[in-house]
Amino acid sequence: MTSDDIVKQTRQILQLAEYIGVDYSEAVTAGNITNPDEFAEMQQFASIIIEKTNLLANDMQNSVMTDALQLQQAIEDKEPLAVIQGFSQQIRQQLLSQSPALILPSQLLTKDHVQQLFIENCSSCHGDLGQGNGPLAKSLAPEPTNFTDQERALNRSLLGLYDAISDGLDGSAMRAFSELNDQQRWSLAFYVGSLAFEPTATATEHSKHDTNVELQQWVNNNPIQILQQDIGIDRSQLELLRSQPELLFQHAESPISNARTNLQAAVEAYHANELAQAQTLAVSAYLDGFELIENTLDAHDSSLRKSIESQLLNFRNLLKVPGQTTQINQEFASIMTQLNQADTVLTGQSLSNNAMFSAALIILLREGLEALLVIIALMTVLIKTERHDAIKFVHFGWISALAAGVLTWWAADNLISISGASRELMEGGAALMAALVLFYVGYWMHSKTQGSKWQSYIKNNVDRHLNTGTLWGLTGLAFISVYREVFETILFYQSLLTQAIGSDSSNEQVSYLVYGLLAGMAILAVIAWLMMRYSVKLPLARFFAVSSYFMLVLAFILAGKGISALQEAAVISLTPFPLDVSISWLGIASTWQGLSTQMVIVVLFSFLVIRNRYAK
C-alpha cells in the first residue's frame, strides 16, 4: 500500500470514529436501543474501522487496534455515550499524532461566496440554513445532519466535516464533492461548522491574537477537546472563533506566519517519512510565504533576505534524503531563528514613507522593464520593416495580458486557489518560451545585418512571411512577455498594501505607494519613448546588429529567470554553484542548472554568428 493509500485509510478511520462519537446518542439511551437503524450503522462503522485498521502500517495498526476492538465491544454492550466517545477520541488522537500535517488553506472564500456554494450544493438535503430540513431530507435514511444542533457540533471536528465533503460518507446519501477545489471544500467545512454557534458579548471583545490555538490544532480537534486542552481558550472565545472562522485567518495573512507553519509541517512530514509531502510544504513555505515579503524585507535588511532565501531553497534538497533527522532539525532551527529576526524587523518598524515609495517604484521597474523592452523591440522591428499595420497585433497582445493578469489575480482571490508553485510554474514556462522566441528572432536579425541584403529581404519576403499566422504569433509573444509579470507584480503590491494599511499612518503610506507606482509608470513611459524615438533612426544594418544583441541579452535574462522560477516551484532540481555569482537583474542565480542554461545560449549564439560570418 502506498503512502497516499495509508493517508486515505487513516482519514476514513478518523471520520468514522468521530461519526460514532457524535451519533451514538441517537441509537442508544440508558442501555436500550432507541433507533435500530442508527444502532446497525454504529455496528457497521465499528467493523469498517477494524477492517481499515488492519490495512495500516504495523506501528500505527498496533496502537489503534486495541481501542478499535474495545469500541466495537462497547457498542455491542450498549455502553453509555461517555464510554463510546472516550474510545473514539483515543482512536483519533492516536492517528492524528502519527499522521503528517495537513496542507491548510491560507484564506477562506468570502462569506457571501461560501453561502452561495452551500445553497447550490447542500441545501437540497440540509436546507438553506443547514437545519437538516431540505426538500429531500424526509426521503433519506439516515436523515441529513442538522448543523445548527450545538450538542452535535461540539463533538464534530472541522477535519471530519472536510473529509465528509471531500470523500462522502459510506452508508448514507452524503456523496463526495470531488468537483469542488480544496479551498471550496475547506470553506464549506468552516461554514457548516459555524452554524451552531453565536458569539457572546464577552467573546466579541476577543480576537484570534488573544488565544494560543494553532490552525492545525483547531481543525483536528472538536470543540470539547479544544476546551479540555491547556491552551488558554474559554467557551466564549471558542464560540466566537467557530461562528466567525475568518478571524482564524487574520494571522494567516502574515507571509512569515505562513512560512513558519508550512516549515513546521514539512519537518513533521519528514519525520513521518513522507518526503514528497515534506518537500511540497517546504516549497509552499517559500512561495506562499516568504517570497511575498522579500521586497519589504529587502528595504530593511537585504543580507537577511538573501540568507533566508538561500536557506529555504537549500532546505528542500535536504528533505529529499531520508535519515538526516539531526541535520534537518538544525537547519529548521536556523531558518526559524532568521524568520523571527525578519518578523522583528518588519513588525518592529513600518516602512518609512520614502522606503514605501522606493519599494513600489522598484517593484514596477523590475517587473515591468523586461516586458516593456520586448514590446518596444517588436514594435521597432515592425516600423523598420514598414509594417505599421501590424503594430496593432502587438498592442492587442500586451493590453490583453494586462487584463488577463488582473482577471487572474481577482479569480485567485475570490474563485479559485492558485498556489505559489502554480504561479512560479506559469511564470517559468512563459519566461523560457519567450527566451526561445527571442533567441531565434535575435539570430534571424543578426543574419540580416548587411543593409543591402536586408532591403532586398524586405522587398521580397516581409509581406509574404508576416501573414496572419505570424502576426498572431507576435500577439502571443507580447502577451506572454507581459502576462508573466503582471500577476506577480500585483501580489507584491498587495503585500506592500497590507503593511501600509496595518501601519499607524496608513493613509499616508498608501499615498506613497501610489506615488511610487505612478513614478514607475512615468519612468517606463520615458524609456519607451526614448527607445522608439532613437532606435528607428539607426541605419538598417546598425539597427539590426544592435537589436540582435539586445534580443540575446533578453533571452539570456529570461532563460535564467525561467529556470529559477521552475526551481522555486520544485519542477527542476536545484544544485548550488560553489561560488555566489548571483546578479538578479541579469537573471543569474548561483545554481548549476541556471548557469548552464544561460551558457548554452551564449555558446550557441556565438557559434551561429561565427558560422554566419564564415559563410559570408
Report if residue 596 sits inside a domain.
no
On whether both 263 and 116 belong to a single domain, the answer is: no
What are the CB-based long-range contacts (under 8 Å, 24+) for 496-505? 496/295, 496/296, 496/351, 496/356, 496/359, 496/360, 496/363, 498/253, 499/296, 499/346, 499/350, 499/351, 500/350, 500/351, 500/356, 502/350, 503/350, 503/351, 504/350, 505/353
Number of domains in the chain: 4
CATH number at residue 227: 1.10.760.10
Residue 571 phi/psi, 5-degree rounding, is -85, -35
173 and 260 belong to one structural domain: no
Q: What is the mean pLDDT of residues 320-329?
A: 88
The CATH number assigned to the domain holding 279 equals 1.20.120
**Shared domain check, 396 and 378:** yes
CA terminus-to-terminus distance, the chain: 65
| Final residue in a domain of this structure, among 252, 269, 288 | 252
Residue 160 has pLDDT above 60, yes or no: yes
394 inside domain:
yes
Q: Are residues 88 and 128 in the same domain?
A: no
Q: Which of 124-128, 243-247, 276-280, 461-465 has the highest mean predicted lDDT (pLDDT)?
A: 124-128
Structural domain boundaries, residue 311: 254-348
Nearest CA to 52 out of 42, 64, 70 is that of 64
Looking at the structure, tell me whether residues 335 and 388 fall in a common domain. Answer: no
Please check whether residues 241 and 275 belong to one and the same domain: no
In a domain, 613, yes or no: no
- Across the range 456-460, mean pLDDT stands at 48
Structure confidence at residue 2 (pLDDT): 64
pLDDT at 46: 92
**Domain match, 247 and 258 both:** no
In sequence order, which ranges of 99-214 are alpha helices (DSSP H)? 111-121, 123-126, 150-153, 158-167, 182-192
Q: Return d(Cα 382, Cα 388) in angstroms, integer.
A: 6
Residue pLDDT, tens place only, 359-398? 778 778 877 777 787 787 778 777 776 777 778 888 888 8
Cross-strand bridge partners of residue 29: 32
Residue 184 belongs to some domain of the structure = yes
| pLDDT tens digits for range 76-92 | 999 999 899 889 988 88
**Percentage of residues in the chain having pLDDT higher than 70:** 77
pLDDT recorded at residue 188: 94
What does the CA dihedral 76, 78, 80, 81 come to, rounded to 10 degrees?
60
Residues 173 and 54 both lie in one domain: no
Q: What is residue 130's predicted lDDT score, i.e. its pLDDT?
A: 92
- Flag the least confident range among 162-171, 410-419, 446-455, 606-615: 446-455
- The Cα–Cα gap between 490 and 278 comes to 29
pLDDT exceeds 80 at position 316: yes
Q: What percent helix, strand, coil does the chain show, rounded to 5? A: 75, 0, 25
548 domain-assigned:
yes
**Nearest CA among 151, 170, 169 for reference residue 161:** 169
Residue 533 in domain = yes
| CA–centroid distance for 26 within its chain | 41
Residue 106 belongs to a domain: no
Give the pLDDT confidence of 561-605 residue by residue, as tens digits: 888 878 777 678 778 888 878 887 678 888 888 899 999 988 888
Does position 465 have pLDDT exceeding 50, yes or no? Answer: no
Q: Can you give the pLDDT at residue 191?
A: 94
Nearest in space to 554 (alpha carbons), one of 421, 293, 295, 372: 372
Query: Using CA atoms, how far apart are residues 470 and 476, in angstroms rounded to an integer?
Result: 10
Domain C-terminal end among 532, 555, 578: 555
Whether 580 maps to a domain, the answer reads: no
Both 210 and 225 in a single domain?
A: yes
- Report field, pTM of the whole predicted structure over 0.85: no
Q: By percentage, how much of the chain surpasses pLDDT 90?
A: 12
Inter-axis angle of helices 302-319 and 325-348, nearest 10 = 150
> Which of 98, 133, 150 is the C-terminal boundary of a domain?
98
What does the pLDDT look like over 412-431, one tens digit per residue?
555 555 555 566 666 667 66
**DSSP symbol at 33:** E
| Shared domain check, 38 and 50 | yes
CATH number of the domain residue 522 falls in: 1.20.1250
Same domain (yes/no): 500, 445: yes
Pull the grid cell for residue 192.
457548516
Range 326-350 average pLDDT: 80
pLDDT attached to residue 458? 45
**Shared domain check, 470 and 422:** yes
| Reported confidence tier of residue 461, pLDDT bands at 50, 70, 90 | very low
Tens-digit pLDDT profile for residues 97-144:
777 666 677 678 888 889 999 999 999 999 999 999 999 988 887 788
- Per-residue pLDDT of 203-227, as tens digits, reads 445 444 445 567 888 888 888 888 8
CA distance 481 to 427: 10
